[in-house]
Amino acid sequence: METYNNIVLERLPKHLKRYVVAQRYERYTALDQALWRYVMRQNYSFLKDVAYYPYIPGLKKAGLSIATIPNLQDMNDSLKLIGWGAVTVDGFIPPAAFMEFQAHRVLVIAADIRQLEHIEYTPAPDIIHESSGHAPIIGEPDYATYLQYFGEVGTKALSSGKDFELYEAIRHLSILKEHATTTAAELAEAEKNLQIIQDNMGEPSEMALLSRLHWWTVEYGLIGDLHNPKIYGAGLLSSIGESASCMKEDVPKLAYGLNAIEYPYDITKPQPQLFVTPDFEHLKLVLDKFADTMAFRVGGKQSLDKAIDCKAVCTVEYSSGLQVSGVFKLANADKNLSYIQTQGPTALAVAGKQLEGHGIIYHSEGFGSPVGHLRGADRNLADFDEATLIQYGIVEGQQCSLNFASGIIVSGIVQKIVRQFGKIVLISFIGCEVYRSDREEVYFKPEWGTYDMAVGAEIVSVFAGAADKDAYDALEEQLDQDLSSIPTETEDVKLVNCHAAIRNLRDNGFDQKVWLEIFSQLGPENADHWLGLVELFEIARANDGAELTTKAEQRLLEFIILYPNLKKLIDDGLRVAKEEDLNNH
């Protein structure tokens, strides 16, 4: 993985590096560059008055410019000065991974760029949204702190099985909308499938609720006075359509608070309302209130139940500090939390570091252990000193029987006692049987081998993913992966070549003959020619070509008559071209 001489990226854990792909800047065509330039000029024209953070200084601080698609090396050269980094990924990545990148102070940027037909807004992640939306405000310290903290909280959020279905459906639909060869039937089928899933989600999970807070702040947040707010959300900063429409009075502006979790969102549509925070510190306070309700802070049976519903790898942490990572299943029929049980590969860790010999290969078929106090004990087993261990017969090489207050009995020969940070976290037995006193539930039999018993009176935390992700996943770092879809690869070659000639005309000196030659190729038979004509209008105007300026404008007016849906884009392009030359800023 390319780290761009940025220590922030060098420190990324191995399991995150597998999502990173090479940017391969040479794949962006002149049409892509023209699309970027158009959007950024429009953004500056509007956002200079309504964006919270000074737009141009923010762009420069993040290594971005209005003129060209950002290069990851330039971005990292700038971002590392404020303790951040940036990587490119191939479109959507799982929400948990996105959050974890954020926690490591790394901006995740989709390498692709939107199609011309989606120039105003794209439901799929693209380099315009991720870089021009998120990056310019990273220079604001309070916001950067909030963004990192959100990532830390989000990394621990529990999802549900339905969340994964929804994520896959949204991802599929967004990709179809950005793919030039998608048929109407394919799109209709994907939209129908998404609607069915959305209508049957059931109770929202932690991640679903947290995603709403992320959407109404990081993506679509407003800041300041409720009646005259400024934009800071990346979704608005990168959408030349919605950044303007959202500020209209008919879009309700609500005071931001924890009640924002009650408002679901649709990634494919303009937002029906927006939330306004008085400052960035308030965002952190609201997030903290929500975090107090999450399983990683609450613990106990209700949190374990969430992990079971998740049907994915989660971690439960005992009060001793022992962390058990795996896919959890229902272990006991009673209402109290007395036993935990995983199925499939499981790992044990303390303080996020896997215990030696207790990885997913050793615990390949699952793990189970009691939770609670020993009957009659005046202290937790984790805190037993040597004398108390002897009193209870917990001596290596000797037979012992442990009776838990819950009615669970662990009986066998003590093989090993494991301590970490002054606490007993694990006791291993051989010839062991684990059962309830009434024998209605048997958890372990002697013939199954070694029994490793977790030690801890309570489950104090439950969170998503493995405690030691690198050790659990055992993944090799993947370098220079190919992008699954290469932007503009299927674009009309002639159109791309026209834009290359236009860029050359702008960068290397005006030539009227060349201008006319390009102009002759951009006729009204192709709606996509409008952007090239807007650029020719800019160039003619900048070079005092009154006759050429008129020719380009008249042809653009023809386009508006033929393609009414292009009116706003063309009008905005002409308006910005008539404003001051942004290259001087």
Beta 274-277 vs 222-225: how paired, if at all? parallel
CB of 380 within 8 A of CB of 457? yes
* Closest of 508, 498, 510, 585 to residue 549, by C-alpha: 510
Beta bridge partners of 88: 21, 109
State residue 203 phi and psi, 5-degree precision.
-65, 130
Full strand arrangement of the beta sheet holding 20-21: 20-21, 85-89, 106-110
Check the annotation: does 129 bind a ligand: yes
- Residue 432, C-beta contacts closer than 8 angstroms, at least 6 positions apart: 410, 411, 412, 413, 444, 446, 450, 451
* Closest of 194, 201, 275, 183 to residue 236, by C-alpha: 275
Rounded CA gap, 83 and 72, in Å?
Answer: 15
Beta bridge partners of 171: none
Rounded to 10°, the helix 141-156/95-103 angle is 140
Check the annotation: does 214 bind a ligand: no
Beta bridge partners of 277: 223
Check the annotation: does 373 bind a ligand: no
Beta bridge partners of 323: 317, 349
Helix, strand and coil content of the chain, in percent to the nearest 5, comes to: 45, 20, 35
* Closest of 154, 148, 143, 144 to residue 94, by C-alpha: 154
Q: Provide the annotated binding site.
A: 129, 134, 219
Q: Provide the annotated binding site for Fe cation.
A: 129, 134, 219
